[in-house]
Structure 1
Amino acid sequence: MKYKLAIFDMDGTILNTLDDLADSMNHCLRAHDLPERPLQEIRMFLGNGIHWLVECSVPEGTDAETLEKVYQMFLVYYKDHCAIKTRAYEGIPQVLQSLRRAGVLTAVVSNKADYAVKILCGDYFDGLLDFSVGELEGRRRKPYPDSVNAVLEKFRIAKEDAVYIGDSEVDFQTAQNAGLDVIMVGWGFRDEAFLKECGASLVIHDPAKILELIGVPEA
């Protein structure tokens, strides 16, 4: 096998979380008498963490106090509404099962709040991941390589033995900053043309291709 460790992004890569994120964001905007955002706008705001999502979603010129209130409400509301419409992308659980059977370690590194990462990994991928981590206080989020490096250190895996799999420009930059090979997926929150403009040379559209690129036979 080409790699010993596969590190996945979460939103747009292994889980389609868009509807729950958009519903939660618009609930918090409505609660503060702010205009809602259409789904496709919110789609493009994702990838840089919750605070960035809120910053992009509130109207330009929103005062800092209101922005912070919307952010704090989102943290509470999304915790209870993060698994209503969210679904695993078709084929992803089978890919994770095949990787595990082949002895490849699996991990998730996300800019989503760590509590939500833990909830969703347990709900949708119980027993299929060796480790998961989201945004944590005191640790720089992606595209900084800090969380990726922490996973490498945890498993004592060299960079050349790991691959990062994601769906956005943030994931591509994260892999570059961490010195990892990258597999970009085209079923998530960014389309192939956008990803190639960002520098991605390969964008896949079938989860089974992950197994092929890693060198694991399909089940």
Structure 2
Amino acid sequence: MSDTKLGTTGYATVIFDLDGTLLNTIEDLHLALAHALDACGLAPATLAQTQARVGNGRAKLIERSLPASASPELTTRVTSAFDHYYAAHKNDHTHPYPGMVELAARLRDEGRRVAVVSNKSNYAVRELMDSYYPGVFDVAMGSSDTVPKKPNRIMVDTALTRLGAAAQADAAAGRAVYVGDSEVDVATAANADLPCIAVSWGFRTVEQLRAAGAATIASTADELAHAIRG
């Protein structure tokens, strides 16, 4: 964890979403879903449909892509096909959003505590963070069988606990913020009693973010930096 004294204003603890916020993962997610549906003889989803269905984790993505009449057995087959494909191809087209690697590193260098909480599987979070943000984040955690997915606040609370007492104090004092790109993230921040900065470069439009209740929306990494430091 960063031990540099924080000498700047703004939020001292920053918790980021991953997909659609730090990394553009949508093409690899879409290709994994397309493969799984095709392998099970089902109609494909468009990229736009996939993008609209992500945010609540792999299980919800698959559920939203299957017919309402899908049996548990079919759901299991599609899930297995998705998992096998994504494990091998999760980083074929994935890439960071412009300026975000540099911003995350600068925030940590300034002494701010930075963490990632994602509904993506924990193994994928670890591997992708190692590829694009090695050594930058104090905590990076994905979904598991023991921690409820966002928008439940437990994942955020767990990250704050792992960051330590100073981060928990930041949250209590209004010096912690949550950054994300979807209505799931806006709800997560609200459930965790944290202010939210939404970003418009991810998987939802500005109009969708506003409808979800986002009060602050950044359209570039520089705008996000200003909102965090402001």
State the TM-score bracket (shorter-chain normalisation).
over 0.9
User: 1:3 Cα deviation (Å)?
Assistant: 1.6
Q: TM-score, normalised by structure 2?
A: 0.91
1:69 equivalent in alignment to 2:77: yes
2:38 to 30, 42, 49: 30
User: 1:76 Cα deviation (Å)?
Assistant: 2.2
User: 1:72 Cα deviation (Å)?
Assistant: 2.0
User: 1:65 Cα deviation (Å)?
Assistant: 0.6
Q: Which stretches of structure 1, 4 residues or longer, exceed 2 Å deviation after superposition?
A: none
Matched residues in 1 for 2:196 and 2:202: separation? Answer: 15
Which digits, 9 at most, give the CA deviation of each residue in 1:137-175, with x for residues without a partner? 021110000110011112221212211000000000000
Q: Which residue of 1 aligns with 2:54?
A: 46
| Aligned residues of 2:116 and 2:141 also touching (Cα < 8 A) | yes
Q: Which residue of 2 aligns with 1:170?
A: 184
User: 1:122 Cα deviation (Å)?
Assistant: 0.5
Q: Which residue of 2 aligns with 1:184?
A: 198
| Aligned residues of 2:117 and 2:142 also touching (Cα < 8 A) | yes
Q: TM-score, normalised by structure 1?
A: 0.96
1:89 equivalent in alignment to 2:97: yes
Q: Which residue of 1 aligns with 2:145?
A: 137
User: 1:214 Cα deviation (Å)?
Assistant: 2.1
| Aligned residues of 2:176 and 2:195 also touching (Cα < 8 A) | yes
Matched residues in 1 for 2:13 and 2:159: separation? Answer: 9
* Percent pairwise identity: 37
**Unpaired segments ≥5 residues, structure 2:** 1-8
User: 1:191 Cα deviation (Å)?
Assistant: 0.3
User: 1:8 Cα deviation (Å)?
Assistant: 0.5
Q: Which residue of 2 aligns with 1:124?
A: 132
Mean CA deviation greater in 76-85 or 35-44: 76-85
Which digits, 9 at most, give the CA deviation of each residue in 1:6-57, with x for residues without a partner? 1100110010000000000100111111111000000010000000001111
**Unpaired segments ≥5 residues, structure 1:** none
1:5 equivalent in alignment to 2:43: no
Q: Which residue of 1 aligns with 2:6?
A: none
Q: Which residue of 2 aligns with 1:59?
A: 67
Which digits, 9 at most, give the CA deviation of each residue in 1:169-203, with x for residues without a partner? 00000000000111000000000001101111121
Q: Which residue of 2 aligns with 1:80?
A: 88
Correspondence 1:189-208 to 2 at 5 A: 189-208=203-222
SS class of match (1:133) = strand
Which digits, 9 at most, give the CA deviation of each residue in 1:50-94, with x for residues without a partner? 000011112231111101111122122211110000010011011
Matched residues in 2 for 1:115 and 1:142: separation? Answer: 17
| Aligned residues of 2:35 and 2:81 also touching (Cα < 8 A) | no
What letter is aligned with 1:164?
Answer: Y
What letter is aligned with 1:116?
Answer: A
Matched residues in 2 for 1:214 and 1:55: separation? Answer: 35
SS class of match (1:110) = strand
Instruction: State the superposition RMSD in angstroms.
Output: 1.1
SS class of match (2:48) = helix
